[in-house]
Amino acid sequence: MLTVLHDTLYRRGNTPPADVERDDGESGKSAVGINERGRFVRVSKEVRHRAILGVTGAGKTTLAQTLKEVDLHRKRKVVEIEPSLEAKCEGIFMNLPNGDPEMVKILQRDFDLEPRPFKTIAYTPPTQHYLDFIEEFPEMERFFRPIRFTEEEMKQVLTKILPGGPIERMLLRTYLERLEGESLENIIDFLQGDDVPGYMRSTATKIMYIASLGVVSEEGVSLRKVLSGRHASVITFAFVEDPLDRFMCSLIYLTAIYETWKGMSHSTILSFFVADANLFAPSRNKDLLDSLSRYQQRARAQLQIYARISRAQRVAWTLDFQSWQDIDDVVKEQMTERFFKRSWSEEVAKILGLEQSELRRLGKPYAYFHNMRYLQKIKIRPPMSRKAREGQYTPYDFVKEYRRFEDEDATFDI
């Protein structure tokens, strides 16, 4: 049943409200799915934060890709932070049209759409691995580009990403102001000196580690450029070797991108996607890693703040995670457009007013969608661009797929 099922949370009735069913002249390009009445279902044009919940393999990434296409169609700027601990680069496959026969059939039959690519650029720290990749596959430079991130930009985010108490951060902020114009190396030397409290030596060690990640670079594409243009910008860590380093890079870039966007004049909305948010900013101890737990807690605190204040900056977050308990309650409260994919959660089934078995059996093409006013089961619109197949995660996988596509006389020119 596609109707309101839980009257303490959702409006009762046998159909969604009239404004949901109204034909506003938009095509299937702006639809996220279709309901049992055959009507398109759309997400809000306003700044609304979204949650995508479901077990591994339920189709969260596919749904997120469809949402990215909807946002690009509506001329939003789309940025995605790919999984912070994995060397994945799935978003780059959006540069190719969807080639899955079943998905294409649904696109044509239910949405009157044809497969098409969406210009997507993957931005990466300029690591040696990345440089070797471009040397081996020079044609990939149009799809994979290094991020320019200066020492000054790094200094501006240090107090936001470093774990520690308020006094430590206050002192660091004071010292950074006093040492304005100095290099990170000189700042580290100062913090290890006798003129500062002894515990600031620990802060110096943290900064040394961050400086060693290879994020700081005077060459490449500036964050302002990353946030400009009508293409999708994917921040990938596929060229960062160590999983823990990948996490730190993701925390640095997420913070820097948000702070850069704040300082820009913009008339559009930034749609900011964070994949595997339960590992990036977990609320449960099971997802805390011993060597990263304090940084993960810091990331959680950042998301708590950003989720509350970012509407004023015209930033809409889309987070995907596996369980309703995976994300902090403060963040969840701000997620007012929610997609529930297949799940084992008894709590979620109860919230939705469903039998637990219904949620467990939910097919991959479907989701329960609610926006705090109504609840519907919808058939997700497949993405028009290509979804990476099982096992296609790396830039090298994209090279193979792109070359195969070119061999088939592809004419798309990015």
Please state, in angstroms and rounded to a whole number, the distance separating the CA atoms of residues 393 and 291: 25
pLDDT tens track for 188-207: 999 999 889 988 999 999 99
Across all residues in the chain, what is the average pLDDT? Answer: 87
Is 393 or 18 the better-scoring residue by pLDDT?
393
- Quote the pLDDT of residue 409: 54
- Quote the pLDDT of residue 20: 47
- Quote the pLDDT of residue 179: 93
- Quote the pLDDT of residue 350: 87
Phi, psi of 324 (to 5 degrees): -60, -20
- Counting residues of the chain whose pLDDT is more than 90, the rounded percentage is 61
Q: Is the pLDDT of residue 10 over 70?
A: no
Is the CB of residue 49 less than 8 Å from the CB of residue 335?
A: yes
Question: Burial level of 364, CB count in 10 A (0-12/13-18/19+)?
Answer: middle
- Quote the pLDDT of residue 265: 86
CB atoms within 10 A of CB 265: 4
Phi, psi of 140 (to 5 degrees): -80, -5
pLDDT tens track for 56-75: 889 999 999 999 999 999 99
- Quote the pLDDT of residue 376: 93
Among residues 200, 227, 256, 223, the alpha carbon closest in space to that of 79 is found at: 227
pLDDT tens track for 101-138: 999 999 999 999 999 999 999 999 999 999 999 999 99
Q: Is the pLDDT of residue 14 over 80?
A: no
Residue 283 Cα distances to 306, 329, 385, angstroms: 16, 8, 33
pLDDT tens track for 69-96: 999 999 999 999 986 677 789 999 999 9
pLDDT tens track for 236-281: 999 999 988 998 999 999 999 999 999 998 889 999 999 888 777 7
Is the CB of residue 203 less than 8 Å from the CB of residue 191?
A: yes
- Quote the pLDDT of residue 78: 98
pLDDT tens track for 295-310: 888 888 888 888 888 9
- Quote the pLDDT of residue 77: 97
- Quote the pLDDT of residue 154: 95
Among residues 141, 65, 124, 129, the alpha carbon closest in space to that of 100 is found at: 65
